[in-house]
Amino acid sequence: QVQLVESGGGLVKPGGSLRLSCAASGFNFNDYYMTWIRQAPGRGLEWVSYISGSGTIINYADSVKGRFTISRDNTKKSLYLQMNSLRGDDTAVYYCARHKDPGVGAASKWGQGTPVTVSS
Amino acid sequence: DIVMTQSPDSLAVSLGERATINCKSSQSLLYSSNNENYLAWYQQKPRQPPKLLFYWASTRESGVPDRFSASGSGTDFTLTISSLQAEDVAVYYCQQYFSTPYTFGQGTQLEVK
């Protein structure tokens, strides 16, 4: 069965960096677009970034562009999110998710999320 | 950016009754080349990740009970639960994937009256 397991979250000071990882299993990882979606405490969902199966197509939300970098290692079936210059409004649970199909930007499989807290 | 607006923000419905949630986009989500609406619906229960219910506006994801239905086209979309069950208490979100940045509605909290 499909499994997505995030790791790497934690407490970081403003201006600091974190690297989130997502380990995938149970499907042909390189066939699927992958995405990061976040949810601030008590708030709604915010799309952060996606990456194509080959890694050649990448998009970011304006709120993270220039600070966050999405990447993947298909040999390790892993997705990453490098987060730099972190701010308080980046505090959220970060979910790794798989797109339903290429061309369908709906997230059909989700991890349990990893919390990121940006605070001094 | 495409703005997604859901209504109402919260909804209380009696068990066995119908629940209807609306989602409006600031521009059309209908792609003329394939006649598909680039809209998804999700359900999020407390302390759980969201679960995909529908994509292409009305295509039910595998395993979703048929008391859930979705419809709409262009800029106006609806999620309907025909007979509310206790396990349907959740926050429901619509999301457009027509163009980046993908955007979500603010969510609708569904409760039992």
Q: Nearest chain B residue to A4 by CA: give it.
A: B49
- pLDDT tens-digit map of A68-84: 999 999 999 999 999 99
Cis peptide before A102 (omega within 30 of 0): no
Chain A contact residues (CB < 8 Å to B): 44-47, 50, 59-62, 95, 97, 100, 104-108, 110-113
Residues B6, B10, B16: CA angle, nearest 5 degrees: 110
pLDDT band at A102 (very low <50, low <70, confident <90, very high): confident
B105/A95 CB distance under 8 A? no
- pLDDT tens-digit map of B19-67: 999 999 999 999 999 999 999 999 999 999 999 999 999 999 999 999 9
Percent of chain B with pLDDT over 70: 100
Percent of chain B with pLDDT over 90: 100
Which residues does chain B have within 8 Å of residue A108's beta carbon, measured at their own beta carbons? Answer: 52, 55, 61
Say what the pLDDT of residue B94 is. Answer: 98
Q: Of A94, A116, A96, A90, which Cα lies nearest the Cα of A22?
A: A96
- Which residue type sits at B86? A
β-strand partners of B92:
B43, B108
Q: Which two tokens stand for residue A61?
A: 């939300």
Check whether A45 has a pLDDT greater than 90: yes
Backbone φ and ψ of A67, nearest 5°: -115, -35
Check whether A113 has a pLDDT greater than 90: yes
Distance of CA A72 to the CA centre of its chain: 10
C-beta of residue A113 within 8 angstroms of C-beta of residue A6? yes
Residue of A47, A50, A94, A96 best to disrupt the B interface, most CBs of B under 10 A: A47
Residue carrying the six token digits 């529908």:
B54
Q: Nearest chain B residue to A49 by CA: give it.
A: B101
Average pLDDT over residues A90-108: 94
Under DSSP, the state recorded for A103 is: T
> A13: buried, middle or exposed (CB in 10 Å: 19+, 13-18, 0-12)?
exposed
Check whether A115 has a pLDDT greater than 90: yes
A44/B56 CB distance under 8 A? no
